[in-house]
């Protein structure tokens, strides 16, 4: 998103409904389109997504259950049709919302999605 449109896009995303799974994923797709961060956008928005899911529907994504290639492919197509990304994420939802290890492994997976695998959060 060009910087001149970013503020309006983020305000629009913030005003979108987020009370159920479908609405939250629509927000996630729009946030990905807005792409507010120069570096780490995918990692940051996946954490943001988990925060919304946890707050609104008491679920988070077990990112260890989400195949990298399927995820990246579904995200690329989500700007036209979000059905695939919704199905992929929905199949990996868990109610383990307070499991710190699950969260930290999700951070590791998030780095893996973006081609980084040198460090693991457990080693830091």
Note the pLDDT tens digit of each residue in 22-45: 999 999 999 999 998 888 889 999
**CA–CA separation, 82 and 50 (whole Å):** 17
Distance of alpha carbon 104 from the chain centroid: 14
Q: State the residue range of the domain holding 32.
A: 3-117
Calculate the average pLDDT of the chain: 92
Position 65 in a domain: yes
Position 29 in a domain: yes
Arithmetic mean of pLDDT, 58-79 = 96
In this prediction, residue 79 carries a pLDDT of 93
Domain count, the chain: 1
Position 92 in a domain: yes
- pTM of model > 0.85: yes
Give 87-90 contacts, CB < 8 A, sequence gap 24+. 89/25, 89/49, 89/61, 90/21
Position 124 in a domain: no
Arithmetic mean of pLDDT, 98-107 = 93
């Amino acid at each position: 998103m060009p910087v001149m449109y970013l503020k309006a896009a983020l305000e629009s995303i913030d005003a979108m409904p987020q009370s159920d799974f479908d609405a939250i994923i629509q927000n996630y797709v729009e946030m990905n389109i807005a792409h507010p961060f120069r570096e780490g956008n995918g990692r940051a928005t996946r954490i943001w997504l988990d925060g919304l899911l946890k707050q609104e529907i008491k679920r988070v994504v077990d990112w260890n259950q989400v195949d990298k290639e399927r995820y990246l492919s579904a995200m690329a197509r989500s700007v036209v049709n979000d059905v695939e990304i919704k199905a992929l994420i929905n199949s990996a939802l868990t109610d383990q919302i307070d499991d710190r290890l699950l969260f930290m492994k999700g951070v590791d997976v998030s780095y893996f999605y973006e081609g980084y695998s040198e460090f693991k959060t457990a080693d830091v």
